[in-house]
Chain A
Amino acid sequence: MKPCSALSTHYSAFIDGELTPLESVAIRKHIQRCSKCRHDVQELENMKLAVHMHGTSSPIRPDLKKKLEGTLKALERRRTQRVQGGLLAVAAAVAIIVVIGSPTKSISLQTTERDSIESAESITPIAQLSPREHNTTETKTLDETVFSNLIKRHLGLNNPTPHASKALLSFEALPVQFLEGGTQVRQVLNASYQRCLQTRSGASLAVLDATQLELPPQVEASLDRIGVYVEQRDTVELRISQSGQRFFVLLTDKAHRLGDVI
């Protein structure tokens, strides 16, 4: 199968930024050399933009948000009234019990009291008001400890990265062909990650779950500005980029050049 046919099915995902860095590199290198595929990708991008421009030009109701906010206010008001009604019933029941002061109550009073207490229990205590704020999912910071552990792993000094263990989705050494210039696309796509462990290229790729990590300010600023954060640590260069809910951390030995990898 010719490279063009094999790769063209990935062009849609490529323009959507949904490919892995390795796949993106392969396609980028191919379209640099193949004018037909370059034109196809350009056509897809223009069409996507046209659909986007057309779609976002649809009439939006300017009063819609206000109307929806009004509906929510009314809903909250009704809920508050129901709860207040329950509170009043509880207060009345308690008052009656206190006034009467007798352990023997009528059945109807007991029923009323039970109903009122049940209504009272439907009131959400302050501590539980925002259960979202008490959830157990905590995010870690992509900080010195994480960087240090990734570098150690890249250099083969240790395996576990406990600080980022929940966020770390994969860590693999990249094949030799990854860094070579003039690479045939097929070689890159067919590269076996098992084989590459014996033929380290000097580059490793860590994929992290972005929902589990917070970015330090300087990393976030760099990603917003230029789409990549680069840091040099002794003999290792770290390049961090983001696609969707994934952080990609490319670790490269200083001796190797990357070119336009990310």
Chain B
Amino acid sequence: MYLFFAGRKKRSAFAHDVLEHSDGLYRYALKLTRDEQEAEDLVQETLLKAYRNYSKTRTSSNYRAWAYTILRNEFISRKRKPKREVPFDPDFDTDRLATSSSESEPFKNDWKQSVSDEILLALDGLGETHRSVILLCDVEGLTYEEISQIMKCPIGTVRSRVFHARKQLRQHLREYAIQQGLEDIDEAV
């Protein structure tokens, strides 16, 4: 009985501290792996590792950054191993566009989807480290300090990477805006 309640207490605390971030972890994993199944596997493995080591953490720990660190380390170590064949679908988002847009949808939704794809393309055009800092900073809202912990680099390096990544994104979106005949990026996004 004692073990039952001890386990339940640990799971409850873990759910509050770590499991709460599973949506963000999945989003990040999806952007890294570009495959839903692989992203789910990655998140599952991350949370299992976190759960096993949870008792060693302190109350003042930053669980969010810790979980992202585990996920990123797991992703990197998986990349190094010879992997099973996963068919890469270069049309991943284009397919989504094709199925989601239809003649019945108003032009505005098609345009928004197009801009969204352009942002995705711009993000994909970044190197993995630059893409990671932008995802962690802009999508997941982590601080530079948390990102430096996850990516194991100084805060100054994070700051520099964010600066350069945004510079590249701006360049890409500026070109897109010009192609669309818009005044500037503000009109495009």
Contacts and interface: CB of A to CB of B under 8 A. Distances in A.
Interface string A99-132: 0000000000000000000000001101001111
B11 A83 contact: no
Interface in A48-80: 48-52, 54-61, 64-65, 67-69, 71-73, 75-77, 79-80
Interface in A108-160: 123-124, 126, 129-133, 135, 137, 139
B144 A72 contact: no
Contacts of B189: 46-47, 49-50
Contact of A43 (B30, B60, B134, B170): B170
Contacts of B47: 68, 71-72
Interface stretch (A10-18, A27-35, A169-177, A184-192): A10-18
B11 A73 contact: yes
B4 A80 contact: yes
A13 B166 contact: no
Contacts of A137: 58-60
Contacts, number: 140
A130 B54 CA distance: 10
Contacts of A55: 27, 31, 135, 138-140
Contacts of B31: 55, 58
Of the four ranges (under 10, 10 to 19, 20 to 34, 35 or more), the interface on chain B belongs to 35 or more
B14 to A, nearest CB: 7
A129 B6 contact: yes
Interface in B108-165: 115-116, 119-120, 123, 134-135, 137-141, 143-145, 159, 162-163
Interface in B26-49: 26-27, 30-31, 36, 40, 43-44, 47-48
Q: Would you list the 10 A-B pairs with minimal beta carbon distance, nearest first?
A: A55-B139, A50-B189, A76-B7, A244-B143, A51-B138, A12-B163, A54-B119, A135-B58, A132-B59, A80-B3
Interface of B: 2-4, 6-7, 9-11, 13-15, 19, 22-23, 26-27, 30-31, 36, 40, 43-44, 47-48, 51, 55-61, 115-116, 119-120, 123, 134-135, 137-141, 143-145, 159, 162-163, 166, 169-170, 173, 184-186, 189
